[in-house]
Amino acid sequence: MNVKFLFKPSILVLLLCSLVLFSCSDSKKDNEYTAYLFTYFTGNGDGEEAIRYAISEDGYNFHALNNNEPIIDSDSISRSGGVRDPHILRKEDGSGYYMVVTDLLAQKGWTNTAMTLLKSDDMLSWSSTIIDIPQTYPEFSEVMRVWAPQTIYDPSAKKYMVYFSMLEPGSYDKIYYAYVNEDFTGLESAPKQLFFNPNEKASIDGDIIKKDDKFYLFYKTEGDRDKGIKVAISDSLTSGYKAEPGNVDQTDKAVEGSGVFKLINSEDYILMYDVYIDGSYQFTKSSDLKNFEIVDEDISMNFHPRHGTVMPITTEEMQRLLKAFPSDDLVGVTGASNSAIKTNNIVIKSDENTIYLPVKYGTDLTNFDPELKTLPGVAVSPEGAQDFSNGPVSYEISTGDEVTSFEVTAAVANNPVVEGYYADPEIIYSEKDKKYYLYPTSDGFTGWSGTYFKTFSSEDLVNWTDEGVILDLEKDVEWTSRNAWAPTMIEKEIDGAYKYFYYFTAAQQVGVAVSDSPKGPFKDSGAPLISEKPEGIRGGQNIDPDIFEDPQTGKNYLYWGNGFLGVVELNDDMTTIKSKKPKVITPDGTFREGAEVFFRNGKYYFMWAEDDTRSPNYKVRYATADSPLGPLNIPEDNIVIQKDVEKEILATGHNSVIQVPGKDEWYLVYHRFTRPKGEAIGRAAGYHREVSIDSLKFNEDGSIIEVKPTLEGIAPLQ
C-alpha cells in the first residue's frame, strides 16, 4: 500500500531542536551522526493519533517539524483511523528505514488487534502493511489488544524482529515477538512469547537496547503496589530475560511508553517516558542502564509528545527533513553559548526574522560575540565579536542554497534576576550581613514536586550569588518529604544574637525551621506549625505562609492560605502559636493565595495572587488596613501587577515586597511564566516560572501605582 504523506514543499525555514530514540545496533559509526529524530503522537483527540516528527541537535532541546502536524495520514495506514506509539529504526545496511505503530483510535475504545509495518527510503514517503494478529494467526483468535510494537535487528538470525504486547482473556499483557519477512510486509510465523511479568501483572511498551553484549528490555507494569517502568536483562535477544528489582522511572506518577537512546559520542543513555496523566514527559540519564537521574531541567520541547522514540540522524538527513517538513518557528540558530547570555530567555522569531539575546548586567556590548549555536550544516555570518551597543546587528543564516537575514539584538535584561526555574519569591534585608536574601520555591518539577529550598544573596538586587540548598525535605524534615513550596523568612535579634526563622510549605502544611545564618543550614522544628484549616474553612490548602512583624507593636503574625487568608499571632519563640484559633480575613473573591503583608506610612498593605498560577492571567491585587488583623479596605482599582501581552510577560504573581533600609524606596519581587517558552508549554508553565524585580511606587495618598513588568528590571542599588 502506498501512503499518503503530508509535507509542505515550502522554502526551508531553518531549524532548531527535538529528539530521536533508537533501540538497536546501527551500521553507521557514532561520529557520523549529528542530530536526533523524535517520532511521536500527541494524544487521544481528533487528529492527535498520528505520526509526527521533531528534531534535536543535542538530544535535550527539541522542536517539532511540520508545525507539529502529522507527516503521514493515519487513515491511509490504519484500519482504525489512528496510529500510536511510533518506533523508527534505520536498516542495518543504511539503505532505508522501518517504522512500526499501534493501529488504534482511542475514541473507538482500547480494544485493538492490529499493528502497521512501514518502510521508507528517505523518511519522507512511506509504504505500509496492516497486520491483524487474530485474523492472521488462529491460535491468537481471542486476542483483545496488540500494543506498542517495536522492531530490532537480530544479528544472529540476520533478520528484523518485531516485538509487542498482547492480551488474551483471563490473562495479563505479555510481550511477544516474531521475525519479519524480507519485504517488511508481514511476519514469518506466529508470535512467540518473549517476556512476562514474574509478578503476573501487565508488561507493555517494551523497548530493547543492547549494551556490553547484554540486552536490556524496558517495560511498563501495572498494579496497586508495583507499577512503573522496570528493566529485565538477558544475554540473548529472544529469551532468558530476568526482571531486575525495583523501578527505573524516577516518579510516583503513572507512566508509560519508555524509550531509551544513547547520546551521540557519549557513554550516557537517555531514558524518557510519558507521564500521561499530567500530560508531560520525563527525561532521565544513566551510564549503566540501571541507575537513572532526572535531567528535566535540561530539557525543552515546543510540543507535547506521547509515547515516541528517538533515532540518531546525519546532517544530510536532518536537512532533508527540514526541507520537507519546515516549521514556522524553526531557524538554523538554536541558541547561544556566551555565558553572559541568559539562554533560557533567548527569543527567536522566524516570522519577523529577529533574534533577541538577553544579557547580564555589566556585559560589554560594544565588543560582544554571542557565540551563536546552529544546527549541523548551518553557517552564520558575520563571525566573532560585533558592536551591539547601537541596536540590532544583521546576520545571514545559510543552509545549503538557502540564505536568510536576521536582525540580532543583544540587550541587558536584569529580569529574571536568577537563571533557572524559581517561583514564589520571598526577600529580606539582613542587618547582620548587610545583604539581601532571596528565598524562592525551586521550580521546574512536574506538578510542583520539588523537595528542597535554596537561597541567593545580593548587595544590589541585580547581581545574585547562589548560596545553595538551605533545607532539603528528604534529608532535613521528618514529617514529610514532598512539595517544597512558597517559603517566608524573618531575621530577629534575640538576646544580642541574630536568629533566622524560615516558614515553608510542605505537603500542604506549614513548617518552621531555624538557623543562626540567613544562608542556613536550617533545622526543622520537627512538626508542622500549621496542619489544620481554620474553623469553618472546608476548601483550599494550608500553603503560602507570610511572616510579618508589626513595627508599631512588635508582635509577630503568620499569614497563610489558598482560597482563604488565615492569620495567627506567634509567641516570642517564633516557633509556636499564641492563639490556637486562627482568624480568617479573606479579602474578597479574587483571593487565591500568596499573601504578602508590609507596613508603610501608618498603613498596613495586604497583597495576594488572583487566578491560577498556571494561567497567563495570574496577577496581584492589594488592600490596606489600620491593623495587621484588618478589617481590609479594598480600593476600586487595586491591581498591583498583571501580564503584559505585548512584552510576552505572563502570569505575574505571588510576590514579596522589599524596602531599601532607611529609604522610602520599594521593590516588587514576583514570578512570571518562563519567557518565551511559557505560553507554548501550556499549563506546565505553572511550574516553569522565573523570578523578577521591578520598582514599586505609591501615589501621594498611599495608593499603589500599578507596576508594569519589564525585561530590563531595575538598576543595581548604590
- pLDDT tens digits for 241-263? 999 999 999 998 899 999 999 99
Q: What is the CATH number of domain 422-705?
A: 2.115.10.20
Please say whether the beta carbons of 525 and 588 come within 8 A: no
User: Which one-letter DSSP state was computed for residue 254?
Assistant: -
Q: Is the pLDDT of residue 1 over 50?
A: no
pLDDT digit string, tens, across residues 175-229: 999 999 999 999 999 999 999 999 899 999 999 999 999 999 999 998 777 789 9
Q: Are 390 and 408 in contact (CB under 8 A)?
A: no
Residues in the chain: 718
The pLDDT of residue 29 is 56
% of the chain surpassing 90 pLDDT: 86
375: Cα within 13 Å, side-chain hemisphere: 32
Nearest alpha-carbon partner for 504 in 532, 524, 534, 478: 524
The C-alpha cell at 260 is 531509551
Q: Considering just the CA atoms, what is the radius of gyration of the chain in Å?
A: 28
Does the pLDDT at position 509 exceed 70? yes
CATH tag for 33-324 (out of 2.30.30.100, 2.115.10.20, 3.90.1150.10, 3.20.20.220) = 2.115.10.20
pLDDT digits (tens, 9 = 90+) for 276-289: 887 789 999 999 99
For 508, counting Cβ atoms within 10 Å of its Cβ (0-12 exposed, 13-18 middle, 19+ buried), the class is middle
- Which H or E run contains 322? helix 315-324
The CATH architecture of the domain made up of 333-412 is: Sandwich (2.60)
Q: Which of 249-258, 399-408, 483-492 is least confident? A: 399-408
What confidence category does residue 328 fall into, taking pLDDT thresholds of 50, 70 and 90?
confident
Q: Residue 182: which region, alpha, beta or left (left: phi > 0; alpha: psi -120 to 50)?
A: alpha
How far apart, in whole angstroms, are the C-alpha atoms of residue 527 and residue 19?
44
Q: Would you call 398 exposed, middle or buried from its count of C-beta atoms within 10 A (0-12, 13-18, 19+)?
A: middle
What mean pLDDT do residues 152-164 have? 97
Report the pLDDT averaged over residues 87-101: 97
Domains 33-324 and 422-705 share a fold: yes
Does residue 19 carry a pLDDT above 50?
no
Instruction: Name every residue whose Cβ is closer than 8 Å to that of residue 181 and which is 6 or more positions away in sequence.
Output: 187, 188
Instruction: Give percent above pLDDT 70 in the chain.
Output: 95
Rounded to 5°, angle at Cα 462 from 459 and 467? 60
At CA 367, angle to CA 366 and CA 372, rounded to 5? 115
Averaged pLDDT score across all residues of the chain:
93
- Cβ atoms of 611 and 618 within 8 Å: the answer is yes
- Edge to edge, the sheet with strand 354-359 lists 347-349, 354-359, 402-412, 393-399, 378-381
Domain assignments of the chain as residue spans, ordered by start: 33-324, 333-412, 422-705
Residue 296: name the closest of 322, 319, 318, 278 by CA.
278
